[in-house]
Every structure is written in C-alpha cells, then in structure tokens.
Copies of this chain bind each other. A is one copy, B any other.
Amino acid sequence: MEIRNEIAELLTEVKIKNPLVHHLTNYITANDCANIVLALGGSPVMADEEREVEEMVSIASALVINIGSLTTLTVKAMLKAGKKANEKGIPVILDPVGIGATSLRTNTVKEIVNEVKVSVIRGNMAEIKILAGLKANIKGVDSREEINSEGERIAVELARLYNCVIAVTGAKDIITDGKKVCIIENGHKMLSQVTGTGCMSTSLVGTYAGVTNDYYLSSIAGIVSMGLAGEKAYKSLKNGEGTGTFRVKIIDNISLLTEKDFREGSKVHEQ
C-alpha cells in the first residue's frame, strides 16, 4: 500500500482509539501541544512531577519528552517516565529542543538517549547534527542548517546508532528508521514564524505512535499532518491576517483533517 494511504488510515485509527499521550514538556507551548493532540483525536495529559510520572505514563499510549524548558527537577522526572515507558512497552518520542545551545541541554539529551530506549527523535537539522556529535549552526532553539543529502546521511546513521526513527523537520523533512528514508515536502515557511510548530509536530508524531507499532509510519503521519495544516492555514489567510491567525488555523486544520487530505495532498516519496 502506498504511504499516503497508510497514513490516511492511521488518522482514522487515532479518531477511533483516542490514544492518551503523556507529555513532559515545556511551559511555553504546552497549551498548543495539548490542543493539537485533541484536534487530531487523541487525549493529552501533561504531568511532570517526579512523584506521579510513572503512574501517569503507565496508563498512556505514548510518552512525549520535550526539553524546551527543562529544569533539574523535570529532567529527573523525564528519566523516570522514560524508563517506566520502556518497561511497559510504551513508545517514547523525544524532542531535543535547543540541544547545543547549552551544555545542560546537550548532556540531558545524551543522558536520556543512553538511559531510555526512544522510538522517535524529532528535531530540526541543527539539533540532529549536534546529537550526532557534529557542529551545527544554531540560533537559540532555531536551526540555521539546510536540509540536504548530507543531512539525510547523518539522520540515517543516527537512526541506526539509536535504533530509532529520526524525524528531521525544516524546509523539507527527512524521516528515516535507518533503512528506509522518506522525504516530505509538505508545509509552508510561515510555520517557522510561529513558536511551537516543532513541539506540536512532535506531539502529533506521539499521538500517531499511540495507535501503531510502526513508528516510521507514525512519524511520517505526524509530520505530513503538520505540513498539510500549515499549507491550508496559509492558503486561508485573508488580507490583514498574519502569524496570529495562522497559528489558530493550524489547529483548525488539524481538527478538520480527513483521510482524503492525506490521499490527495501528501507530498511524500521514499528514497
């Protein structure tokens, strides 16, 4: 079956199964992440107190770890939640926000990937390069790296190293499980002018990962969802509307996403 049809069916699975997606995430975009999971058809829950994360993740279908506003306390909780997720066979989706910007972030991500088996890592090109031990051009939490064939090679190697799916998002997106590579060309550049579109993409990937064991496919589904929503959001903008309305319409378009949108609009091609 073609990928575009497979991810279309995954959308319906989300609507039917309504997966609970436990987040340990940042306070900047937590509201957007919760709303986008709901818009897709999942149930979000945000909980990062160390004393409750093991219990919470045990009832979840997927765990999203996003280090956007990490603290000493939440990092401990992330490790605890991640290990419990592993024990229970719950997929862990990691968003290494701003790795490379500070050594705390770099070390924390390394600690997580060493101690927790992650199913998917979703980041921008700079974050993925830094995770691979390379230098990268970053600006705070934003990437200044192009997505090209070298980036593709790095992603494939990293996927093999950690035996997980790597999802690199940017002007183009690269999804790889270390064997297969899928390039996605959906999306719109205005997505980079709204905070949290990366975090929201990770949450979408986590929601799809809650209904299938094929994390390569759920990653494609999540990234294409955001891309399609971004395209439609942009097209619907009227005169006098800017990035504020665009942000609202991203959620709108996730909530209105149909199988048909995937079948007709997905710009995915496997290498």
CB neighbours (8 Å) of A51 from chain B are 72, 104
A44 at the interface (CB under 8 A from B): yes
Cα separation A32 to B142 with both chains bound (whole Å): 18
Contact between B252 and A245, CB atoms less than 8 A apart: yes
Contact between B139 and A20, CB atoms less than 8 A apart: yes
CB neighbours (8 Å) of A243 from chain B are 35, 38-39, 251-252, 255
CB neighbours (8 Å) of A140 from chain B are 20, 22, 43-45, 56, 59-60
CB neighbours (8 Å) of A242 from chain B are 39, 251-256
CB neighbours (8 Å) of A32 from chain B are 31
Using a Cβ–Cβ cut-off of 8 Å, how many residues does chain A contribute to the interface with B? Answer: 65
| Contact residues, A193-246 vs B (CB, 8 A) | 193-196, 232, 236, 240-245
Contact between A45 and B101, CB atoms less than 8 A apart: yes
CB neighbours (8 Å) of A139 from chain B are 18, 20, 43, 59
Knowing that A31-B32, A52-B103, A240-B252 touch, tell me 12 more A-B residue pairs with CB under 8 angstroms: A31-B195, A43-B142, A45-B141, A49-B69, A49-B70, A49-B72, A51-B72, A52-B70, A55-B103, A193-B255, A244-B252, A247-B251
Query: What would 28 A/B residue contacts be, using CB atoms closer than 8 Å?
Result: A20-B139, A27-B30, A28-B46, A29-B31, A31-B196, A34-B195, A34-B196, A35-B195, A35-B244, A35-B247, A38-B195, A39-B193, A39-B243, A39-B244, A44-B140, A45-B101, A49-B71, A49-B72, A52-B105, A55-B101, A55-B104, A59-B101, A71-B73, A241-B252, A242-B251, A244-B247, A244-B250, A244-B251
